[in-house]
Chain A
Amino acid sequence: MPPEHEIGCPDRSVLERHVRGEPVSESERAHLESCAGCSARISEIQAENDLLNTALFAESTAPGIGGAEEQVVDGYELMGELHRGGQGVVYKARQIATNRQVAIKMMLQGRLATSQQRMRFTREVELVAGLRHPGIVTLYESGATSDGNFYFAMEFVEGMTLAEWAAAGGHSVRERVAFFAEVCSAIRYAHGRGVIHRDLKPGNILVDQEGLPHVLDFGIARMSAEHTSPDETMATLAGEFLGTFAYAAPEQLEGDPDRIDIRTDVFALGVLLYELLAGTRPFDTGSSLAELITNRLDQVPTPPSSFNPQLDRDLDVICLKALAPDSDRRYASAVELEEDLRRHLAGQPIIARADSTSYVLGRIIRRNKAVVGGVCLVLLISVFSAISFAILFANAETQRQAAERTLRGFQEAIGIINPESGQGSHDMSVEEYIRSVEDHVQVKLASEPRIASALLTTLGLIELAFRNNERSEELLERALALRADAGEAELGESYHNLGRVHAAKRDFPAALASYETGLGLRTLAHGELHTDVAMTYQHLGSIRRRMGDFAGASRDFATAESIWLELHGPNSEQLAGLINNRAWIQIDLSSSREALSDEAIRQAYLEEALEHLQHSSNLIRSLVAANDYRVGLSERSIGKVLAGLGRQEQAVERFDEAIRVLASRLGEEAESVQDARLLRARSLLELNRELDAAAGDVSRIALLCEAQGRRYEAESPWKRAASAWSLLADLEQARGEPEAARLAEAAGVAARAEAERLGAAESSSPPS
C-alpha cells in the first residue's frame, strides 16, 4: 500500500494528470519529483494504467472470435441470438431491403476459419442455395462481415426443434410416422439434387406451428464433417462433429470420405426414427471413441418395440433396415425408406426384410479378417493347430517326422516375412498376429516344449525382421528356456538367433559370445561340414568385422567359404554373400587411420573391395532374377565404392541402376531406395551436375523420412531425414541459394533433435 496522503502532497487528480502527461503546475511537479510517498502512489497508478492499456490492447488485437453483440452484417438488423452451437451462432434478424424476418447463421470461428473451411463454406452455400422445398429451410444468401466472419441468411421458421417437439409428447405413433415420412420426403428432394445432409439430428429439424418439418443446415455439415486428411478428421472431432456422434453412420465414424453417400443420411434418418418411436437412442455411445465405433459396428440395436409396445413388427424391421451398419444392407435411399413408411401407414406390406443369420455371421468373419490386415490370422491359427495336433497325435515315428517337417516348412514360410525384401510391410498388424500365435502356443502347447520352442523361435525371428529387438529377444529367450533338455542342434540354433538379436541391438560383445556358443553346439551336433555351421561362421565374421577385428573376421569368412564351396560348389548365393563380406572388410580398412594418412593405401583397399563386389555381383546376377532386390543392393555397394574412388560418373550410373531395381521391387519409400538416392545426389554434388534435380530429390526424401518418422515414431527415419537436410544444405549452397541452405540447415537441426528425443525415449523405455 502507498503511504497515506500526507499534508502538503497534491491530491490524486494531480498524480493522475502527471501520469497521463497532462499539465501540472511547476510547484506540483517539483513536489512529485522529491516526495517518496507520491512516487509510490504514482507507481501504483502507472501499474493500474498499464494493466488497463494492456487489456485494451489485447482486446483490440483479438484474432477473430468477435463477440456476438458486436457483429454487424450489412443489409441486416440483428435482433438477438436464437441458438449457439458447435458450428456457429444463429441470430434472428430483419433484412432491411425486404423487411422480412430471417435467421442468420454465423460461423463461430469467424476469421479463425481455416482456408479449407472458407473454401468449402462458399462452395456449399452455392450448392444449397439452389434447394427449394417446403420441408427445407430456404437459404437466401451468404457473405462475409467486414471483419471476416462468414454468415448466411435463411428462412426464419417460427417453431421448435424436433427434440422439443418429441419431448412435448401428445403425438400418436401414426402421427409420428406420418411426420417422419415428410422429413424423408425433404431429404429425398435434396438427394435428388445431389446434396447430402451429413449432419441430420433433432436440432437440425424444425417443426413449425402446423406440425410440418423444416430441415436445416443442408449440406453445411460437409464443410466441417468432410475429411480430407486424418489430421482434419480429428480436428473435426474436436470442434464440431462430436455433438452429433449419436447420428453418425459407421462409415462416417471410420472417417472414410469415399464411402459417404446418401445412405449415410439414411442411417441418420434411422436413428432419428428409432428415437422418435422408441423414445431412446438405438446405440450405446460408450465412453471412448473406440468403444463408440465398436458399438456402432457390432451392436445390433434392440428392436424399438421392446421400448414401446405400441410399435408393430414392421416398424422394427424398417428401423433396423435403416440402421444396418453395412451401407449395402440399408435402404438404398430416403425414397425407399419413405415409401416403406407410407406403405406401413396405408396398411400395405413393407418391402424391407430382416437380415438372415448367414449374412450376420458372414459379416462377423469379414470384420475379423480386416483387423489382421495383410495376414489372415484365422487361417494361420488353424494351420498351426492342424500341424501341432498332427504331431501330438501321430503314433508312428515316421508320421511324427513327416509332421515335423511340415511344421519346419511352415516356419520357414512365415519366417521370410521381411519388409526390406518386399515381403510383408510395416503396415500389417504383426503385433496382433504374433500375440495371437503366442497365446495359442502358451495355451495349446504347454506340454509340448519342442514344438512350442520352434514356434516361439519363428515368432522371435519375425519380430527381428521388423526390428522389434526387445520383443524378439524375449521370445527367443523363452524358446531357449524351453529347450533345456533339447539336443545340441536346437540349442545351437537358439544361441545363433540370440546372436542375431544382440547384433541388431549393436551389443557386439554379447553377439560374439552367443555366436561362439552357437558355433560350438552346432559343430558338436553336425560336425564341421554343415550349412548351419557355415552360417554361424559367417555371422561371427561379420561381428568381428564390426568390432574392428579384421584378421579374425577374414579367418571366419575363409572357413565359411570353404564349407560353402564343399557343400554347394562355386555358384551359390551364400558364397556371393561371403565375398560381399570380404569386400566390406576392405571398405572398412580404407577408412582406417593407416589408409586415411596415405591416399595410395586407401585407393588400394577400395580397388580390392571393388573387385570383390563385382565378383559377388556377377555371382548374384547368375543366380537370381534381374530385378531381385539383392541385385539392387549390390549395385548400390559398387556405386558407393566407386564414389569413394572419386569415379563419380560411374558411381552415378550404378546408383541409377540400383534405384531402378530397388524402387521397382520395394517401392520409393524403402530405406535402401532413399539411401541410394541420397548417395546419387552426393555424387552429383561432387560432379557439380544436375544440382536442381538432386536438390529436388533430396528434399523430397527428407520430407518422406520425416513423414515416416512421425508415422512410426522411430529414431532412424529422423536420422536419415537429418542427413538428407544437411546434404540439401550443401546442394543449395552449391546452387547459390544461401537462404534455402539456411532453411535446410534449420530443418536438419530440428530433425536431429527429434531423432535424439526418440532415441532417448527408446533406450529409456523398459522392454515391453
Chain B
Amino acid sequence: MEITRTTTAMLEGLHDPQNAQLWEAFDRRYRPILVGFARNLGVGEVDAADIAQETLSRFVQEYREGKYDRSRGRLGAWLVGIARYRILDLRRKQAGRRQIVDDEAVAALDDERHLTQVWENERKQAVLREAMQELRTASRTDPRTIEIFELLMVHGLTTQAVAEQMDVTDHDVYLAKSRVAQRLRTIVERIEAEYDDAT
C-alpha cells in the first residue's frame, strides 16, 4: 500500500533528486489530471499526453529553479498556467499547419475561470478514481457488498434481480449500496485532504 502523501509533503520532497518514488507519486497524481485537462480543452489523445509531459517537465524545471512560490498561488493554478501555454503553442503550430481547430476551445484558453473549472473537475475525477480503486482493492469493505453494488450500479440490474442473484433481500441490496457510498465518501475525504495545495 502506498504511503499517504500530502501535496505539501510532495513539494518539499521534490527538491531531492534522489527521491524517485516521490517523483513517481507526484507524476501519478498530476499526469492524469493534466491529460484530462488538455482533452477537455479539445486536444487530441496523443497531443494531450505530450502536453502533460511538457507541462510536468516545465514544472520540474521551474520548481527546481525556485520559480514556484506557493504564497503566490496554488500548485494547480501554476500547472494550469503552464499547460495553458503549451496548449496555446500547440494551437499555433496547428494553425501554422492549417489544421482545423476548435474555435471555442481557443477562446476558452483566455478564460481563467473556465480553465480553473476544467482543472478542478479533472482533479475531482482523479480523486474519485483513486477512491474507487482503493475501495475495490484496499478497503475493508466486504467483497460481497461490492459485488452487490456493482450488479446494481454498474451492470444496471433491477433491485429484485440483484437480490435474487445474491440471495439477499431488497433491503440488503440498498444497505450494501449505502455502505459503499459511505465508505467511498470517507476515502474521498481523506484523499481530498492530501491535495492540501489550497494554502
Interface residues of A (CB under 8 A from B): 11-13, 16-17, 20, 22, 48-49, 51-56, 58-59, 61-65, 67, 69, 86, 109, 111-118, 230-235, 237-239, 242-243, 245, 285, 287-289, 292, 699, 703, 739-740, 742-744, 746-747, 749-750
Contacts and interface: CB of A to CB of B under 8 A. Distances in A.
Nearest to B39: A63
A239 B60 CA distance: 10
Closest 3 pairs (CB-CB, A-B):
A235-B57, A243-B20, A58-B128
B180 interface: yes
B18 interface: yes
Contact of B57 (A17, A234, A703): A234
B174 A231 contact: no
A389 B199 CA distance: 57
A116 B57 CA distance: 14
A289 B17 contact: yes
B196 to A, nearest CB: 21
A747 B92 contact: yes
Interface in B11-67: 15-20, 23-24, 26-28, 31-32, 35-36, 39, 45-50, 52-54, 56-61, 64
Contact of A749 (B24, B85, B110, B170): B110
B129 A245 contact: no
Given A86-B24, A288-B15, A747-B92, A51 B60 contact: no
Contacts of B16: 287-288
Contacts of A230: 61
B159 A111 contact: no
Interface in B122-139: 124-126, 128-129, 131-133, 137
B91 A743 contact: yes
Contact of B17 (A51, A62, A237, A749): A237
14 contacts: A13-B174, A22-B159, A63-B36, A63-B39, A86-B24, A109-B49, A117-B53, A234-B58, A237-B17, A239-B24, A699-B96, A740-B98, A747-B91, A750-B110
Contacts of A115: 46-47, 49-50
A58 B129 contact: yes
B168 interface: no
A23 B132 CA distance: 30
Contacts of B46: 114-115, 118
Given A13-B171, A48-B178, A243-B20, A703 B92 contact: yes
A116 B49 CA distance: 10
A238 B32 contact: no
Given A52-B181, A232-B53, A747-B91, 7 more contacts: A48-B178, A62-B32, A63-B32, A114-B52, A115-B46, A235-B56, A285-B17
Contacts of B129: 55, 58-59, 62
B103 to A, nearest CB: 7
A421 to B, nearest CB: 31
B130 to A, nearest CB: 9
A53 B39 CA distance: 21
Contacts of A61: 125
Central interface residue in A22, A49, A58, A67, by most chain B CB within 10 Å = A58
B181 A17 contact: no
B57 A58 contact: no
Contact of A52 (B24, B85, B177): B177
A742 B103 contact: yes
B153 A52 contact: yes
B88 interface: yes
Given A234-B60, A242-B23, A740-B95, A285 B18 contact: yes
A749 B35 CA distance: 25
A242 B60 CA distance: 12
B117 interface: no
B109 interface: yes
B10 to A, nearest CB: 12
Chain B CB within 10 Å — which of A86, A239, A739, A747 has the most?
A239
Contact of B58 (A59, A67, A118, A231): A231
Contacts of B47: 115
Interface of B: 15-20, 23-24, 26-28, 31-32, 35-36, 39, 45-50, 52-54, 56-61, 64, 85, 88, 91-92, 95-96, 98, 101, 103, 106-107, 109-110, 124-126, 128-129, 131-133, 137, 149, 153-154, 158-159, 170-171, 174, 177-178, 180-181, 184-185
Nearest to B98: A740
Given A111-B45, A242-B19, A17 B159 contact: yes
Residue in A22, A744, A750 whose Cβ sees the most chain B Cβ within 10 Å: A750
Contacts of A231: 54, 57-58, 61
Contact of B128 (A16, A59, A287): A59
Contacts of A232: 53, 57
A13 B159 contact: yes
Nearest to A113: B49
Contacts of B49: 64, 109, 111-115
Given A55-B132, A59-B128, A739-B103, A242 B184 contact: no
B95 A743 contact: yes
A746 B20 contact: no
Contacts of A238: 23, 26-27, 56-57, 59-60
Contacts of A739: 103
A562 B47 CA distance: 65
A486 B82 CA distance: 53
B141 to A, nearest CB: 13
Nearest to A231: B57
A233 B35 CA distance: 20
A65 B159 contact: no
B83 to A, nearest CB: 13
A244 B58 CA distance: 21
A153 B45 CA distance: 26
Contacts of A69: 137
Given A20-B159, A238-B27, A750 B109 contact: yes
B47 to A, nearest CB: 8
Contacts of B36: 63
A117 B52 CA distance: 13
B18 A245 contact: yes
B171 to A, nearest CB: 6
Contact of B60 (A48, A53, A235): A235
Nearest to A54: B128
A279 to B, nearest CB: 19
A300 B49 CA distance: 41
A242 B129 CA distance: 27
A287 B19 CA distance: 10
